[in-house]
Amino acid sequence: MVRRPTVDPAAQARVAALIAGMPLRRDLLIEHLHALQDQVGGLRPADLAALAQIHRIPTAEVFEVASFYHHFTLLKDDAPTPIATIRVCDSVTCMLAGAEQRLAELTASAPPGVRVEAASCLGRCHQAPVVWDSRAVAALPLPNLTAYREAGGFAEHDPDSVIATLKAASLRGLGGAGFPTARKWAFVRDQPGPRLMTLNADEGEPGTFKDWHVLATAPYQVLDGAVIAARTVGAERIYLYLRDEYPDIRLVLSHAIAELEAAGIGPPIELRRGAGAYICGEESAMIESIEGKRGLPRQRPPLIAEAGLFGRPTLNHNVETLYWVPAILQRGAAWFADQGKPGHPGPRLYSVSGRVAHPGVIQAPAGSTAAELIARAGGMAPGHQLAAFLPGGASGGVLPAAHADRPLDFGVLEDLGAFVGSHALVVLSDQDRVRATARNLLQFFERESCGQCTPCRSGTAMLATMLADGPLDPALVADLDQVMRDASICGLGQAAPNPVRSLLRFFGEEGR
């Protein structure tokens, strides 16, 4: 007979009090873990066991969820509670800006009880090296619903007309895949109800920070796009999944969603909080996380458009795609399409960072080149000359300066073994080694692999070790590359070898 662990009555009473007022549903397990950590400072075994008892699920299930996410602090029962946590981003742009030295400085100067740790991309690449302090949440200006509505926001639209207009505008999904938006909406609308919608604001791709910019400056435009999408496909509820690295944005969205609810606008919107897992940017892993589970990508088929969140047909979009929807419907399909270069309809928001004078989010025509975006960013940083660039964040490969005049858009860079992905341009100079960049990227993929697929879990570790230890074996790299692409469930394992392939193809294994 299997015995259930004994639960401390005091711990159960404490946990019950801390989550009082929150619905007791299995899909809210991660929200409950956040509530405990926010108020207690960490997660102790006694509290995890008590939470499991309250949910009537195995303690092991609660522990495996809590231990999966980087931002949950697991403590022993007798360990002191951290006063605060400081995270220093060590992803590629911050590495170029001296993250290693900054981490060492903060570690040496941190007072007792303050945890200092390296972290994956924190989504502020324009401020590299980025430091996140749990004690300091910036206060962003709160949006004004009345002003946005007076400007024409949250208008009613005919669903058939919406889909036709988006098709004429050639709007594509701008989270990385580039799938035609109108086609996706029509497909989901044709599925049997009830239907749901998810808004993926968990951009974790190193070098990508356009979501933070858009949600900080135009949150109602994004929410308007989400409401239009939900109404068009008949989704009864919207789940907005926001990365935990954006507590300032969480305050903005909480305010905006409350205003929409009070005004009776759109279907209900649930704001869900991520917990530090890059893999949850993959749509099915995000859905698993919204359901209160580990963010493990799902096998396909079925597509989430057929059986997604809670088994229902689900429309999923990223932030930038929805940002453009209200503007297209107000100004027309031709207005949007004509902002791109010939053959590349529409404007784009490019995240530009690295060795440029003025890193930031740049709105530019689709099909803009790296050279043009660098010029818009004020040119190269003083004392630096362009040597290479990442056209699509960590996943999109690394290209030499000779290709800086190629358009950065979907379907253009694939012959070079690269892709534009989330439109994150990271610029390297003659003072950087591409091999060091590739090593940083592989260490990121190794850290962020969910571990579900052996080729991804082991392959990322092997490639990171090979980059650290010495000469590369091109035949072994090619073999790993093929296995990871063929046998990984999601894009992380399939794209992780790209930096190494680029290194060997364009730069030689030393990367100069």
Q: How deeply is 77 buried, as exposed, middle or buried, from its count of CB atoms within 10 A (0-12, 13-18, 19+)?
A: exposed
Q: How deeply is 90 buried, as exposed, middle or buried, from its count of CB atoms within 10 A (0-12, 13-18, 19+)?
A: buried
The encoded tokens of residue 15 equal: 């946990």
How far apart are the C-alpha atoms of 272 and 250, rounded to whole Å?
9
How far apart are the C-alpha atoms of 200 and 323, rounded to whole Å?
12
The answer on pLDDT for 478 being more than 70 is yes
Could you please state the CATH topology (level 3) that the domain comprising 434-507 is classified under. de novo design (two linked rop proteins) (1.20.1440)
Q: What is the pLDDT of residue 512?
A: 55
Give the largest Cα separation in the chain, rounded.
71
pLDDT tens-digit readout, 7-59: 889 999 999 999 999 999 999 999 999 999 999 999 999 999 999 999 999 99
382: confidence class by pLDDT, cuts 50, 70, 90: very high
- Does residue 278 contact residue 158 with C-beta atoms inside 8 Å? no
CA angle 142, 145, 151 (to 5 degrees): 120
Could you please state the CATH topology (level 3) that the domain comprising 347-429 is classified under. Ubiquitin-like (UB roll) (3.10.20)
Q: What is the pLDDT of residue 5?
A: 59
- Does residue 428 contact residue 354 with C-beta atoms inside 8 Å? yes
The answer on pLDDT for 361 being more than 90 is yes
Give the strands of the sheet with 114-119, arranged side by side. 114-119, 84-89, 131-133
- Is the preceding peptide bond at 129 cis, omega within 30 degrees of 0? yes
Higher pLDDT among residues 178 and 197, named by residue: 197
The encoded tokens of residue 480 equal: 């790993």
Residues 6+ apart with CB under 8 A from 347: 324, 336, 339, 340, 363, 364, 365, 366
Q: So what's the architecture of 145-334 in CATH?
A: 3-Layer(aba) Sandwich (3.40)
Tell whether domain 84-133 is in CATH 3.40.50.720.
no
pLDDT tens-digit readout, 245-264: 999 999 999 999 999 999 99
pLDDT tens-digit readout, 491-506: 999 999 999 999 999 9
pLDDT tens-digit readout, 402-419: 999 999 999 999 999 999
Sketch the domain layout of the chain as residue ranges: 9-68, 84-133, 145-334, 347-429, 434-507
| pLDDT mean over 93-100 | 97
Q: What is the pLDDT of residue 485?
A: 95
- Does residue 126 contact residue 425 with C-beta atoms inside 8 Å? no
How far apart are the C-alpha atoms of 60 and 69, rounded to whole Å?
15
pLDDT tens-digit readout, 428-446: 999 999 999 999 999 999 9
Q: How deeply is 156 buried, as exposed, middle or buried, from its count of CB atoms within 10 A (0-12, 13-18, 19+)?
A: exposed
DSSP codes joined into one string, 373-421: HHHHTTSBPTT--EEEEESBTBTT--EEGGGTTSB-STTTSGGGT---T
- Does residue 504 contact residue 477 with C-beta atoms inside 8 Å? yes
- Tracing tokens 């399939």 back to the chain, one arrives at 494
2: confidence class by pLDDT, cuts 50, 70, 90: very low
The encoded tokens of residue 298 equal: 């799902």
| pLDDT mean over 361-384 | 98
Percent of the chain with pLDDT over 90: 94
Q: pTM for the full model?
A: 0.96
